[in-house]
Amino acid sequence: MMDMMRSQTTRKNYRALGGALATAMATALTVTVTVLTVFASPALAATESKMQMTPFKASLKDTPSMQRGAKLFVNYCLSCHSAKFMRYNRMAEDLHIPPALVEKHMLFAAEKIGDPMETTMPADAAEEWFGVAPPDLSLIARLRGPEWLYNYFLTFYLDDNSPSGWNNVVFENVAMPHAMHELQGLQRAVFKTETAADGTQREVLERFEITSPGKMSVAEYRQAAADLTNFLVYLGEPAKLVRIEYGIWVMLFMLVFAGLAYMLKKEYWRDVE
Ligand code: HEC
């Protein structure tokens, strides 16, 4: 009688222990998954657009792509835009670019590798030239989202009516000239009028016409736009690289832990059953 009672209480205890373990594991897993999804979700940047966005997903695992993006950024963007939340040496370390290479090819004359990525263009002069100062791009990927950026880089076109001679399909009347036109070439945009079911009319992009090819093929330039976007996404959240690594280790740990807990449960129950 005593024995039976004891075994019943033990059983109850084990059951409680098992329950507590299961709850703890479930909670931990939920927290991990939530944390990972929250940080993995892209910024929202819905805009009324004259075209269907070409889908694009950024990849922070593609280090060579981000390296090429960094090079494009330094060569074609830093003359007007800064990225002052990023330092050259941090970028070199994160993207596995040899510091000597950064020092040789990426720094302006007076800069040191520990400096933030500043533009050499004085903000007031820029405002005078473009009517609006080029914004700092450190956090632009969080503001606009990768897909918007990718499409922005692809859709600059010649426009005689704009002060700079350029326009952009996803950023209408943008004050920025096409910084990478020597790579993409020159293109004109052909628009058509679309009538919706309710009778409202709107202009939509029909196609681009290349009027003068650039140094890159269409496919190469698309890759360049992707590289630059990947780099800007990294720039907006450098800690994400580290976080992805942590996330994988946490998941692995949870799996191993679940296995151990299961073996432990079996071990306890062997005596009871
Ligand atoms: C000649 C100067 C110049 C260069 C070079 C330049 N930009 Fe710009 N950029 C501007 C200006 C000016 C604006 C502001 C446009 C506006 O608000 O109408 C701008 C705006 C932008 C925006 C939109 C910001 C927003 O408000 O959402 C992005 C993104 C951007 N630039 C990225 C780049 C990238 C990437 C490069 C390099 C490939 C680059 N720019 C090169 C002048 C420049």
pLDDT digits (tens, 9 = 90+) for 60-100: 999 999 999 999 999 999 999 999 999 999 999 999 999 99
For 249, phi and psi rounded to 5 degrees? -65, -40
Task: Name the architecture of domain 63-237.
Answer: Orthogonal Bundle (1.10)
Tell which atom from ligand 1 comes closest to the C-alpha of 144: 27
Residue whose CA lies nearest to ligand 1 atom number 33: 77
Distance 115 CA to ligand 1 centre (A): 22
Distance 153 CA to ligand 1 centre (A): 10
What is the predicted pLDDT for the residue at 41?
47
List 168's β-bridge partners, or say none.
156
Distance 133 CA to ligand 1 centre (A): 9
> Does residue 111 register a pLDDT over 50?
yes
Q: What is the mean pLDDT of residues 191-200?
A: 92
Residue to mutate, 74, 176, 230, ligand 1, most ligand atoms under 8 Å from C-beta: 176
Three-class secondary structure of residue 51 per DSSP: coil
Q: The tokens of 86 are what?
A: 């990023």
Are 138 and 119 within 8 A, CB to CB?
A: no
In short, whether 70's Cβ falls inside 6 Å of ligand 1 is no
In short, whether 53's Cβ falls inside 6 Å of ligand 1 is no
In short, whether 235's Cβ falls inside 6 Å of ligand 1 is no
> Does residue 110 register a pLDDT over 90?
no
> Which residue ranges make up each domain of the chain?
2-40+245-272, 63-237
pLDDT-derived band at 42, boundaries 50, 70, 90: very low
Are 146 and 233 within 8 A, CB to CB?
A: yes
pTM: 0.78
Residue with tokens 């695992």, as numbered in its chain = 61
Q: What is the mean pLDDT of residues 153-178?
A: 96
Q: What is the mean pLDDT of residues 254-264?
A: 93
> Does residue 37 register a pLDDT over 60?
no
CB neighbour list of residue 92: distance below 8 Å, 6 or more residues apart: 98, 99, 101, 102, 113
Tell which atom from ligand 1 comes closest to the C-alpha of 129: 12
pLDDT-derived band at 24, boundaries 50, 70, 90: confident
> Does residue 47 register a pLDDT over 50?
no
pLDDT above 90 coverage of the chain, percent:
67
CA distance linking residue 21 with residue 206, whole number of Å: 60
Mean pLDDT taken over the chain: 88
pLDDT digits (tens, 9 = 90+) for 115-129: 999 998 888 888 898
Distance 63 CA to ligand 1 centre (A): 24
In short, whether 179's Cβ falls inside 6 Å of ligand 1 is yes
In short, whether 68's Cβ falls inside 6 Å of ligand 1 is no
Q: What is the mean pLDDT of residues 28-52?
A: 60
Residue whose CA lies nearest to ligand 1 atom number 6: 77
Distance 131 CA to ligand 1 centre (A): 12
CB neighbour list of residue 90: distance below 8 Å, 6 or more residues apart: 238
In short, whether 180's Cβ falls inside 6 Å of ligand 1 is yes
Residue whose C-alpha is closest to residue 50's, from 157, 134, 141: 157
Give CA separation, 159 vs 28, 175, 182, 219, in Å: 55, 12, 17, 24
Rg for the chain, CA atoms, rounded? 27
Q: What is the mean pLDDT of residues 204-215?
A: 96
Are 175 and 164 within 8 A, CB to CB?
A: yes
Residue whose C-alpha is closest to residue 89's, from 65, 70, 68, 109: 70
What is the predicted pLDDT for the residue at 49?
76
CA distance linking residue 15 with residue 12, whole number of Å: 5
List 116's β-bridge partners, or say none.
87
